[in-house]
Amino acid sequence: MNFGTLADIETRGKTVLVRVDFNSPIDPSSNTILDDKRFREHIPTLQALEDSRVVVLAHQSRPGKKDFTTLAAHAEKLERLMNMPVTYVDDIFGTCAKHAVRDAHPGDIVLLENVRFSAEENLTLKPEDGAKTHLVKKLASMADLFVYDAFGTAHRSQPTITGLSYSMKTVAGLLMEKEVSMLSKVFTSAPKPVTFVLGGTKVDDSIAVAGNVLANKTADKVAIIGVVANVFYLAKGIDIGEPSRNLIHMLGYDDEVAKAKSILDSYPDKVLLPEYVAVKEHDERKEYPITRVPKDCPILDMGTESIVQFSKALRNSGSIVFNGPAGVFEDVNYAPGTFELLRAAANADFSVCGGGHTAAVIEQLGLEPQYSHLSTGGGACIEFLTGKKLPAIAALEESWTKFGGAK
């Protein structure tokens, strides 16, 4: 890693801005936070700064959404998890925020207001332009150091994600460091053979990942499931039925069929596709070979024979990267594919999950201790696995070069 970490700097007695990702599911009617996993992931970083004045920067949702709200509930949640007072300030960089930071003592935690309440934070800007915003200038003037710990937003280039790093000495927090280290291992030292399981509905992302890991020989096999598999079936000229075909069109993925065909043509022996699927027929689960799917029935899961075949392939893998479900797992009738593959993947020597819905299912099944790493960033994790350098990582590296490693 070419960026600084907490181990590289002295933070005692300093005022430290910490960018976290507390963006969580919320019940809009009661403003109750429904899942505190993202909070828990940041606790080690905040505890490591116990001798500093900690100023936490976070966001919740985005303008126009029902769960776009203040961080009052987040402060209460953080207080309970940290078992210490947290000062919530309903201000980002105005007089109230400045006074709260000025009056803080080492060991105190101040949580400023939802940074997306500032219009500038909702802009996608180059780091050097983000550094020129009022938001970044005001925040940078309040602190000595910046710790970036929000891997979940690392694929974005907004003022508090990349602009602050351009303005002041910045290092990665413990969560950010762990995410980059574990995901990098996929490309460098993961036990062979390596199998990528790519599913869900984000077809374009999954196809980009498949193309990258097959081209650079990171993956020995790519197992394609979910809606992604339906695109590959179309690429093979298989009729998947009108409902599944319409869903691909509705999601805007018609152009991905040609990309899937290119992957199949280039790596015919490396791509695994389910030969049997489960459809919804007369409100019941029915299984068919993929070549005999009824034209009016939607494909909602893998078939049992393919679940057995894929599970065996996963159990023979040294490393597994799992991103996206095999079907509509929310319905118990179409959950077996997702559940059984996740159980099989848990046995690998090295197993990584790309966050989002898949990580939630792993926790639900009680498999979390068996996985090497559950990423906190769905979109960021996927983008990292496509081989792109995430804007926040580039900004961390630039900051370490620009401001030097001196403590």
The answer as to whether 273 is a domain residue is yes
Please check whether residues 228 and 288 belong to one and the same domain. yes
Do residues 323 and 206 lie in contact, with contact meaning Cβ atoms separated by under 8 Å?
yes
* Residue span of the structural domain in which 326 resides: 192-348
CA 78 – CA 42 distance, rounded (Å): 10
372 within domain boundaries: no
* Pair (321, 227) in one structural domain: yes
- Is 29 within a domain? yes
DSSP state of 350: E
Residue 104 lies in a domain: yes
Is position 238 within any domain?
A: yes
| Alpha-carbon gap, residue 84 to 28, rounded angstroms | 26
Q: How many domains does the chain have?
A: 2
256-266 vs 226-235: helix crossing angle, rounded to 10? 80
Joined tokens for residue 11:
């933070």
Same domain, residue pair 96 and 228: no
Is there a single domain that holds both residue 305 and residue 257?
yes
Question: What are 309's two structure tokens?
Answer: 């075949």
Residue 191 Cα to chain centre, angstroms: 23
The helix or strand, by DSSP H or E, that contains position 221, with its residue range, turns out to be: strand 221-224
Verify that 156 and 199 share a domain, yes or no.
no
Amino acid at residue number 253: Y
With left for phi above 0 and alpha for psi between -120 and 50, is residue 366 left, alpha or beta?
A: left
| Neighbour tally for 405: CB within 10 Å | 11
pLDDT by residue for the chain (407 residues), tens only, comes to 799 999 999 999 999 999 999 999 898 888 899 989 899 999 999 999 999 999 999 999 999 999 999 999 999 999 999 999 999 999 999 999 999 999 999 999 999 999 999 999 999 999 999 999 999 999 999 999 999 999 999 999 999 999 999 999 999 999 999 999 999 999 999 999 999 999 999 999 999 999 999 999 999 999 999 999 999 999 999 999 999 999 999 999 999 999 999 999 999 999 999 999 999 999 999 999 999 999 999 999 999 999 999 999 999 999 999 999 999 999 999 999 999 999 999 999 999 998 777 888 999 999 999 999 999 988 899 899 988 899 999 999 999 999 976 44
The answer to whether residues 321 and 235 belong to one domain is yes
Predicted pLDDT of residue 405: 61
User: Distance between terminal CA atoms of the chain?
Assistant: 18
- Separation between Cα atoms, residue 47 and residue 301, nearest integer Å: 43
CB 168 within 8 A of CB 145: yes
Q: Are strands 319-323 and 194-198 parallel, antiparallel or unpaired?
A: parallel
Q: Are 357 and 200 in contact (CB under 8 A)?
A: yes
Same domain, 256 and 337: yes
323 has which bridge partners?
198
pLDDT at residue 407, rounded to an integer: 47
Same domain for 156 and 27: yes
Looking at residue 406, what is its pLDDT?
46
Q: Which pair of tokens denotes residue 203?
A: 């077809």
Give how far the C-alpha of residue 38 lies from the chain's centroid of Cα atoms, to the nearest Å. Answer: 11
Same domain, 288 and 145: no
Structure tokens at 285: 């689960």
**Domain shared by 266 and 292, yes or no:** yes
Judge contact between 4 and 405, C-beta under 8 A. Answer: yes
* Domain membership flag for residue 381: no
On the 0-12 / 13-18 / 19+ scale of CB atoms within 10 A, 67 is middle
pTM for the structure as a whole:
0.90
C-alpha pair distances (Å), 349 with each of 87, 199, 272, 371, 381: 43, 21, 21, 9, 20
What's the token pair of residue 331?
């319905």
pLDDT at 101: 98
Residue 217: CATH number of its domain: 3.40.50.1260
To the nearest 10°, report the CA torsion of 155, 157, 161, 163: 150
On whether both 243 and 340 belong to a single domain, the answer is yes
| Residue 319 CA: distances (Å) to CA of 198, 316, 326 | 14, 9, 19
Number of residues in the chain: 407
In a domain, 375, yes or no: no
The 3-state DSSP class for residue 55 equals strand
Residues 142 and 207 in one domain: no
The beta strands (E) that lie in 242-318 are given as 271-272, 276-281, 284-289, 299-302
Check residue 31 and give its pLDDT: 86
CA distance 182 to 163: 26
Structure confidence at residue 356 (pLDDT): 75
Does residue 215 belong to any structural domain of this protein?
yes
**How far apart (Å, rounded) are the C-alpha atoms in residues 369 and 104?**
38
